Amino acid sequence: MSGSTLSAPADPVFAMHRGGKISVRPSVDVTDRQGLAMAYTPGVARVCTAIAEAPDLAADYTWVSNAVAVVTDGTAVLGLGDIGPAAAMPVMEGKSLLFKRFAGVDAIAALVGADAAPGYIIPGQFDERVAPAVAAVVATQARADAVSRR
C-alpha cells in the first residue's frame, strides 16, 4: 500500500494520530470522598433505581442523549477497501472527532470483528445491543454485503 510507511519520525500525519485522536473526559469534577460517593457508589444506586423505574430519565441523568456510536467492521474503508476493523480505527476516530468538534456530540468509535462474531455485524443485532448506551448508532465503512438488514 502506497504511503503506509512512516518516512520520518517527525511525519506530522503520524504525529497527529499518535495515541489516538479522541478521549473520554469526565463532565463533573470529583475531588473528594463525598464526590466519589455521589458519582459512584453508594450514590449512583439512587440514580440507577430511578432510571429502572422510569427509563426515560436516562436521557437526563446519563450521557445517552448526547452520545453516538460510530461503528465499522472495516470491510469498506474510504478508498482502502477491506482493511479490517483495527486498521479502520483512525477513520472512526476522525469521524468521532468531527461529531464532537462540529456538533458537540460525544462519539465513541466501535470496531466490530465481523469474522470473530457472526450475527453481530452492523447494523444488525449489534446496534440493537449497543443502542441503550447512545442516542444513535452510525454504521459506516462496511460493504453492503457485509451489513445485515433488519
* Catalytic positions: 40, 95
| Bond preceding residue 42 cis, omega within 30 of 0 | yes
Contact 75, 143 (CB under 8 A): yes
Which helix (H) or strand (E) segment holds residue 89: the answer is helix 85-103
CA within 13 Å, CB half, 90: 11
C-alpha cell of residue 118 = 457472526
**Among candidate residues 132, 146, 1, 138, the one with its CA nearest the CA of residue 57:** 132
